[in-house]
Structures are given as structure tokens and as C-alpha cells.
Amino acid sequence: MPRYKILTWGCQMNEEDSEQMSLYLQERGYEPAEQVEDADVVLLNTCSVRRKPEDKVFSTLGHLRQLKQRKPQMVIGVCGCMAQLRADEIRQKAPFVDMIVGTAHVAQVGALLEEAIQKRRLAMRLDLPERKGAIVTDIPERKVDRVPKLKAFVPIQYGCDKFCTFCIVPTTRGRERSRPTADIVEEARRLAERGTKEITLLGQTVNSYGKNLLEGRVPFARLLKLLSDIDGIERIRFTSPYPRDFRDDLISAIAELPKVMEHVHLPLQSGDNDILKAMRRLYTVEQFEEIVGKLRERVPNIAITTDIIVGFPGETDEQFENTLRVVERIRFDGAFMFAYSPRPGTPAAQMENQVPRAVKQERLQRLIELQNRITCEINSAQVGRVFEVLVEGPSQKDPTKLAGFTRENKMMHFVGGRELAGQIVRVRADEAHLWGFYGTVV
Ligand code: SF4
């Protein structure tokens, strides 16, 4: 049987796309290979959000070129955001690539592979769906009968309409399109039948879900209710919401639906209003803090995490200090923190007042130190508390222990029998760390 290997960079949406491509290849008789060296087809599912993964893709292509010289029948494909954005450059720098699969053509991966093999020439599909009028019908096809798993991602929305000045996603993934509600509910129902207990709803601005649907507007909070009604689904998460669209009905849904977990990942990006404006983020620090305040008031013990970029063009020392002050005030449970990386084709990359690399690195270091201290303090204050944990199986850190996540999305390691895997158990936190807790089953 021919074998394939998919290498994935980037976000959960990319992981999800890789799983879909895997299913489409298996449908055509391919089986997974352990390593690229053993594969007949190698797909690189790429990310363009930062520069590092793009560099890594080109260095991986260099390695694949050597493999292909020894094994000329090997098919090499590039998929994902970088394929969408830099197809010409890929063709020029890596003419041995056999297929380029745009972000909207995951379901066509099998057909493109066949075309590349039969015609012995580059097979490529890059067009993005246009949004014609108010209603969106061009939603990617999906395989919903998936391999059984405890936790699954469910995309509910594709593309983005927000156009933040630092972000390339609206160009690589197109305009915002919501999946029909009935399709999402059906997919979740089938996942539950195969044993999935936790679903994570995916979208670039997941809480703006539900516009432009044939069946009329379906608020995100309503979708959460419909999914909560499915037997077998025990936990619902979503990522990432956009602050401006975080309405009171969503806060009520988190507060009132027991299956919706007490964790919100809400990207702040900057703690300075002028920088937020330059980023074209459509909210102020005050509005952001108001949402956090309401969430904490309505949902006791909620964990709130965030994304922050430092060194955005023009960010002064004082503006950076504003970010530190907001982080001190809000006290996030955790954060993904980055130094700004200019993405060609975005407005921010054209801005003249770029911050020197050394300054960005220094700011990033200070922010990380502050956030790590806060995370440790928050976790330490919870020692002794009993958490509900969905047990995933042996811990990768220490296989003598089990690992799982709390409702608040904190990692818990504890001693227990393998038979607990897949179950929801109560675990007392005994010892706190930056990454989570060691605990004991109670
Ligand atoms: S909301 Fe902004 S950062 Fe997020 S995907 Fe859309 S454009 Fe990019």
C-alpha cells in the first residue's frame, strides 16, 4: 500500500485540515507512514502567521529534494496558508514540488494527488470562495465520520472579516463563512456516537459565528445550546473569540450551560488603546476589561488566557508599559506572547516605524517574566482545590502518571489506573507549577 506523511505547522485549524487530508488520502488507499523517508507522498501543511514556520518549510523542502533525487516517484505537496500566499515563490525555489493545495481545497487533496501522479506536472488549486451577496453556500466539504477520539476539533467558521493590520489570515483563508448549524450539530452527534466527550469549536473569530447563513442568523450562544443538548458530549470549548463580538448572551451561555467549560481564550494583543487602533482591533482596553469583569462576576473560577504581541510598529516604551500594567491588572491565567513579526502583504509590514529586534526581544522577555509569575501565583493559590479532569491517558512528561485537563484547561498529572482513561474524575491539586498541577484522585 502506498504511504503518506503529513507535516503540520501552525494553529488548530491546520491540525484539523491535516486530519481531513489524512482521511481523504486513506479513502484512496493510502496508509500513514512513520517518517517522511518511508512515505510515497509527503505533504507540508504550512502556516504564514509568523516567519519561523515559513523558514522551516523551506528548509524541510531542501531535505525532501535530496530524498526525491533518490526516490523520484515520491510526490511532494505544499498545503495551508503559505501555499496559498507564496505559491509562486515555492514553484521558483522548489520546482520539484508536485502539488500546491490552497486553504479552501483540503477536500480536493485526493484528486490533486491523482492529477500530479498521472499527468506528471504540478497540480494546483488556489482559488478562494467569493462571498456572493449575504448568503454563503461555498463551505468546504468535510469528512464527518472520523476515527474515534476522546477530544475533537470542529470547525464552525472559515476565514475572517476583521483585517487586523498585522495579520495575513483574511488573505490566506478568505472572507468569513459560517458552516450551516445543522451540519455542525450532526458532526458533533456522530463524534459523540464514536466516543468523543470533548469538542473544541474552531473559528478565527469563533463568536461571530452565524452570520450569512441560509437559515438566518444563528447566534453563537444558540449554537452552544444546541451542542449542549447532545448526549455523550460532556465538554465544549471554543477558540478564539473576538472581544468586540463577546456579547452578554455568550457570557450567560458560559455561566448557564454546564457543558461549556470555564475557560475563555480572549486575545488582547496590546494593552494600549493607540496600538490597538493601529492594529485595527475593534475594541479598547476598557471594553476588554469590562468583558473580563463580567465573565469573572458571572462565572466563578473562570480561567482567562490571552494572546499578546509586543513591539508592534510604533510601540513606545510607555505603550509597552501600558501592556504590562493591563496584564498586572487583569491577571490572566496564561498567555501566548510574541514579538511582532512583519508579514509581507499586511499593512503593518509597510509601516515605517518598525521597532528594532533587540527592543522587541527585551520587551518580550519582560512580559514573559511578568506573566509567568502571575500564572504561578494563580496556580499556587489553587492548591487544595478539587478539579474535574477528563483523563486522556499516560502523561508524556512522566508515563507513570495519568494526565488530563481541568474544566479551566489546566493540565493535571496524577497517579491512577489506566482504566481511568476517557473518564471524568475529581482530582485534588497538591502541587502547582507554571504548566499546571500534580494532584491526587479523590
Ligand atoms: S481577527 Fe485579526 S488576528 Fe484574528 S484572524 Fe482575523 S485578522 Fe487575523
Tell whether the model's pLDDT for residue 215 goes beyond 90: no
Q: What is the mean pLDDT of residues 204-211?
A: 94
Q: The domain that contains 254 carries what CATH number?
A: 3.30.750.210
Which of 157, 167, 177, 283 has the most ligand 1 atoms within 8 A of CB, as the residue to mutate? 167
Q: Are residue 113 and residue 19 in the same domain, yes or no?
A: yes
Number of domains in the chain: 4
**Three-class HEC string of 34-69:** CCHHHCCEEEEEECCCCHHHHHHHHHHHHHHHHHHH
Q: What is the mean pLDDT of residues 18-42?
A: 94
* Ligand 1 and 157: CB distance under 6 A: no
* Ligand 1 and 30: CB distance under 6 A: no
Q: Which residue has the cell 500564572?
A: 375
Q: Are residue 225 and residue 341 in the same domain, yes or no?
A: no
pLDDT in the model for residue 342: 93
Q: Are residue 211 and residue 307 in the same domain, yes or no?
A: no
In 355-401, which ranges are E strands?
Answer: 386-394
Q: Is 107 exposed, middle or buried (0-12, 13-18, 19+ CB in 10 A)?
A: middle
Q: The domain that contains 108 carries what CATH number?
A: 3.40.50.12160
* Ligand 1 and 160: CB distance under 6 A: yes
User: Which ligand 1 atom sits nearest the alpha carbon of residue 280?
Assistant: 2
- What type of residue sits at position 44? L
pLDDT in the model for residue 144: 76
Instruction: Give the confidence band of 51 by pLDDT, cuts at 50, 70, 90.
Output: confident
Find out whether 425 and 389 touch, Cβ atoms under 8 Å: yes
CA distance 375 to 382: 11
* Ligand 1 and 169: CB distance under 6 A: yes
pLDDT in the model for residue 136: 55
Q: How far is the CA of 39 from the centre of ligand 1 (A)?
A: 35
Helix (H, G, I), strand (E, B) or coil at 334: strand
Written as one string, the DSSP assignment of 132-196 is -SS----PPP---SPPP-SEEEEE-EES-S---TT--HHHHH-S-EEPPHHHHHHHHHHHHHTT-
Phi first, then psi: give them for residue 39, nearest 5 degrees.
Answer: -95, 150
Q: Are residue 79 and residue 168 in the same domain, yes or no?
A: no
CA distance 107 to 113: 11
Instruction: Convert the pLDDT of each residue in 359-396 to its tens digit.
Output: 999 999 999 999 999 999 999 999 999 999 999 999 98
Helix (H, G, I), strand (E, B) or coil at 101: strand
Q: The domain that contains 340 carries what CATH number?
A: 3.30.750.200
pLDDT in the model for residue 211: 84
Q: Are residue 277 and residue 302 in the same domain, yes or no?
A: yes
Q: What is the mean pLDDT of residues 157-171?
A: 92
* Ligand 1 and 162: CB distance under 6 A: yes
User: Which ligand 1 atom sits nearest the alpha carbon of residue 163?
Assistant: 7
400: containing domain: 386-441
Instruction: Convert the pLDDT of each residue in 62-103 to its tens digit.
Output: 999 999 999 999 999 999 999 998 999 999 999 999 999 999
Find out whether 44 and 57 touch, Cβ atoms under 8 Å: yes
User: Which ligand 1 atom sits nearest the alpha carbon of residue 269?
Assistant: 3
Q: How far is the CA of 406 from the centre of ligand 1 (A)?
A: 28
Mean pLDDT of the chain: 94
Instruction: Convert the pLDDT of each residue in 328-341 to its tens digit.
Output: 999 999 999 999 99
Which carries the bigger pLDDT value, residue 179 or residue 132? Answer: 179
CA distance 236 to 312: 33
Instruction: Convert the pLDDT of each residue in 219-248 to its tens digit.
Output: 999 999 999 999 999 999 999 999 999 999
Q: Which residues pair with 305 in a beta bridge?
A: 265, 334
pLDDT in the model for residue 127: 86
Instruction: Convert the pLDDT of each residue in 242-257 to its tens digit.
Output: 999 999 999 999 999 9
pLDDT in the model for residue 138: 61
Tell whether the model's pLDDT for residue 28 goes beyond 60: yes
Q: Are residue 135 and residue 245 in the same domain, yes or no?
A: yes
* Ligand 1 and 242: CB distance under 6 A: yes
Domain ends where: 69, 104, 125? 125
Q: Are residue 267 and residue 372 in the same domain, yes or no?
A: yes
Pick from 63-67, 126-130, 150-154: least confident? 126-130
pLDDT in the model for residue 398: 86
Q: Which residues pair with 158 in a beta bridge?
A: 177
pLDDT in the model for residue 137: 55
Q: Are residue 135 and residue 256 in the same domain, yes or no?
A: yes
pLDDT in the model for residue 133: 52
Distances (CA, A) of 115 to 20, 22, 75, 118, 339: 19, 17, 11, 5, 41
Among 253, 234, 222, 141, smallest CA distance to 191 is for 234
